[in-house]
Amino acid sequence: MTDRNGTAASPVLAIRDLSVGLKTRTGITELVRSVSLDIRPGERVGLVGESGSGKSLTMLAVMGLLASPVCVTGGSVTLGSTELVGAPDRQLRALRGSEIAMVYQDPMTSLDPLQRVGEQIAEGLRAHGTSRSEAGERTLAALAEVQLPDPHRLARTYPHELSGGMRQRVMIAAALAGNPRLLLADEPTTALDVTIQRQILSLVARIQRARNLAVLWVTHDLGVAAQFVQRLAVMYAGRMVEVGPTAAVFSAPQHPYTAALLAAVPSTTGERSALGQIPGSPPEPGSFPPGCSFASRCRQARQGCTQTEPALEEREGGVAAACFVPPAEWQP
Amino acid sequence: MSAPAEQPAGLPGTGAPVPAATVPAAPVPAATVLAATGLVKVYPPAGRAGQPSIALAGVSLNLTEGACLGVVGESGCGKSTLARLLVGLERPTAGSVLLQGQPVTSFRRPELARHLQLVSQDPFSSLNPRLTVASALTEVLLVHRRVPGKKEAAARVAELLDMVSLGPQFASRLPHEMSGGQAQRVAIARALAAQPKILILDEPTSALDVSVRAGIVNLLARLRAELALSYLFISHDMAVIRQLSDQIGVMYAGRFVERGPWQSVMSSPLHPYTRALLTAVPEPRPDGSLLDSADHIAHDAPDTSQVQVAASARTGCPYFPRCPIRIDKCLTDDPPLEVVTGAHEAACYRAGLAVESSGGVPVESGSPPVERA
């Protein structure tokens, strides 16, 4: 089992050179290209990017939930010592809900509208061999842990009787009831109001710390990433372009895309000035240009950028970036 | 092909995207272009046992020429209902909307469209999927007789596209051939084709990616300055509202709970709800402020339906159940929107106290509020 103290600090999840592609009659269209990321016990890691950057596909690939014709085309994903890529469905099903748990953006699509909330959580536990009475107890404990009032009454409600924030709490309760080592979350607070989002983030952070959980949090919201995760990976056109400790990435981004993205976010404080813009739009999968995918939109691009693809390389402060031009040489 | 880079919308030197409101000089009496008085909208109960829901519980506002009033609030606060009433898509249960001093209901629809246009969140739902950009724009130009004939329309279409920083090649595109940001630019161009003086913008940037959103926000700032437009800008996003607004109004449970110049509302919020909203915005700075402050929150917020019930109960302040600084009076009396300092209004009996005790820094009480006696 896991080292709950996290002292060993060997990764709970190790993603190595993971690639995802769309199989067509003429070949494979690359969607996610060579993503490598470790998540250690007790660590909250963010996967940040705009629509189409491949962040959600990466997460689905980790879960083994890609649907044909989209599939993993290379690399490996290991949970502890178990290889997940190519593992039989049976084994993956056993891991989901016990070792790995997931939370999605829209709880209404994950919750059965015709089943009471408590039964749904208990059903998940029973599927992994928990007895009926123990499943009932653990369900109530899980609902209490996510701070839903009166778990006994709440367990008997149907999803439609709950607010969006409460439903997302139920989803988190269901995800964590099986006592997983790893929580994968795909934009779980994006559809919520900011005041509710704050409560959910704080709740997950508290449980995560208490259980020394490893968390992979997919979000498009740089504010959420800044406030919630300790380490983040920025994705662009299916690739990780920058990865490092959140504080370091935000204070001194090493990739021009990260820098441009940060300049485009409005703030509630400070000087009010025009927002930074990125000209053009990201390349479509299937027509990724040679060299760096961001080069055509990049203010720092040089001649070589459109020919050779920069590799993700270590920089100072534990940050790695895939760019030929160091920040010291950037044009303002 | 990339859209041509937009000029930064700011004034040189000042860094401000909009000319107004940065210097609160002697108020020049600007003409009111759109006014609402005591707007109430009640929707009938959904089911047999349901209660009628009060979407708007008495909203008054004045939009002056060339100004941008930002309206911010969370889901269910009534901000989109307000937009629908202002553009005449729905009739208020009570209250009235005056456009250029005349009831909005007295305008015939085409005439109304030449004064007032709505831009909504999803551009694809407001664009006909089978019309090219050129046909969609030409249709508007001809209906409103903004050009003498089809020949002249083509030149005007190119102008409109240029105005929203899209190249002429977009004229032949169909909606599905465009990205969300490009389609939103077309939707804005289409609204501008009727040459309105007022735009009602209902969450125009909410469905967009970060970098695309920045482009639309800058575009809206530039267009307002260039065309002397008046905006009513609705958003759930405090940071986006701040970027564009002269005045900010904060809505809760179908009413304004706070309203004032953008600097005052953002830097010294008077209403506890505004302060909670500001505290909850995840700032793109890893300072941990969001999680730290949130750790103290012990009570869940009511959902939309509960907010509406609170509104329909009609006694006391609708924010009472969530309020960390409430007093007994708040349970029985509903605080009216009143001027607290200068042009800064709030609907809170404790507004003055909130400013003194917190010094304008958004904080929420560390302990759960006292139980109802």
Instruction: Please tell me the predicted confidence (pLDDT) of residue A3.
Output: 42
Cα-Cα-Cα-Cα dihedral sign, residues B150, B154, B156, B160:
positive
- pLDDT digit string (tens) for A93-134? 999 989 999 998 887 788 999 999 999 999 999 998 899 999
Q: Which of A201, A221, A261 is closest, CB to CB, to B211?
A: A261
CB contact under 8 A, A278 and B211: yes
Instruction: Please tell me the predicted confidence (pLDDT) of residue B27.
Output: 54
Print burial letters for A166-198: b (CB count within 10 Å at least 16), e (below 16).
Answer: bbbbbbbbbbbbbbbbbbbbbbbbebbbbbbbb
Tell me which chain B residues have a C-beta less than 8 angstroms from the C-beta of A289. Answer: none
B304 touches chain A (CB under 8 A): yes
| Nearest chain B Cα distance for residue A249, angstroms | 10
Instruction: Please tell me the predicted confidence (pLDDT) of residue A56.
Output: 92
| Nearest chain B Cα distance for residue A9, angstroms | 23
Instruction: Please tell me the predicted confidence (pLDDT) of residue B288.
Output: 77
Instruction: Please tell me the predicted confidence (pLDDT) of residue B28.
Output: 58
Partners of B261 in the beta sheet?
B247
**Closest residue in chain A to residue B4, using alpha carbons only:** A279
Q: Could you tell me which residues come within 8 angstroms of residue A102 by beta carbon, excluding any fewer than 6 positions away? A: A63, A96, A175, A183, A184, A185, A186
Which run of H or E residues covers position B265?
Answer: helix B262-267
**ipTM for the complex shown:** 0.88
Instruction: Please tell me the predicted confidence (pLDDT) of residue B7.
Output: 43
Per-residue pLDDT of chain B (373 residues; tens, 9 = 90+): 444 444 444 334 444 444 444 444 555 567 999 999 999 999 988 777 778 888 999 999 999 999 999 999 998 899 999 999 999 899 999 999 999 999 998 999 899 999 999 999 999 998 999 999 999 999 999 999 999 999 999 999 999 999 999 999 999 999 999 999 999 999 999 999 999 999 999 999 988 999 999 999 999 999 999 999 999 999 999 999 999 999 999 999 999 999 999 999 999 999 999 999 999 999 999 887 777 654 444 344 444 444 444 444 567 899 988 888 889 999 999 999 999 999 999 999 998 664 444 444 333 333 333 333 2
| Three-state secondary structure call for residue B209 | coil
CB contact under 8 A, A195 and B179: no
**Closest residue in chain A to residue B322, using alpha carbons only:** A195
**Strand B338-341 relative to strand B247-252: parallel, antiparallel, unpaired?**
unpaired
| Nearest chain B Cα distance for residue A280, angstroms | 4
| Nearest chain A Cα distance for residue B10, angstroms | 6
Q: pLDDT: is B321 or A213 the higher one?
A: A213
- pLDDT digit string (tens) for A6-18? 445 799 999 999 9
**Strand A44-48 relative to strand A214-219: parallel, antiparallel, unpaired?**
parallel
CB contact under 8 A, A271 and B15: yes
For B124, other C-beta atoms within 10 Å of its C-beta total 15
In angstroms, rounded to a whole number, what is the distance separating the alpha carbons of residues A244 and A233? 7
CB contact under 8 A, A193 and B239: no
**Closest residue in chain B to residue A270, using alpha carbons only:** B267
Instruction: Please tell me the predicted confidence (pLDDT) of residue B48.
Output: 75
Average pLDDT over residues A51-58: 93
In angstroms, rounded to a whole number, what is the distance separating the alpha carbons of residues B253 and B164? 35
Instruction: Please tell me the predicted confidence (pLDDT) of residue B172.
Output: 96
B156 touches chain A (CB under 8 A): no
CB contact under 8 A, A227 and B291: yes
Which whole-number Å values give the CA distances from B20 to B16, B117, B227, in the listed order? Answer: 9, 22, 14
Q: Which of A149, A164, A265 is closest, CB to CB, to B284?
A: A265
Tell me which chain B residues have a C-beta less than 8 angstroms from the C-beta of A267. Answer: 239, 242, 283-285
Among A16, A103, A79, A19, smallest CA distance to A54 is for A19
Mutate to test the interface with A, among B77, B257, B290 (most CBs of A within 10 A): B290
In angstroms, rounded to a whole number, what is the distance separating the alpha carbons of residues B369 and B139? 57
Q: Which of A205, A265, A279 is closest, CB to CB, to B291?
A: A205
Per DSSP, which regions of B294-369 are E strands? 338-341, 344-346
Q: Which of residues 161-200 of B touch A (CB under 8 A)?
A: 179, 181
Instruction: Please tell me the predicted confidence (pLDDT) of residue B291.
Output: 77
CB contact under 8 A, B239 and A266: yes
Backbone angles phi, psi at B10, to 5 degrees: -75, 160
CA dihedral A35, A38, A42, A47 (to 10 degrees): -10
CB contact under 8 A, B280 and A194: yes
Q: Which of residues 54-83 of B touch A (CB under 8 A)?
A: 74-75
Among A2, A14, A142, smallest CA distance to A79 is for A14
For residue A190, is pLDDT > 70? Answer: yes
Q: How many beta-carbon contacts under 8 Å exist across A and B?
A: 173
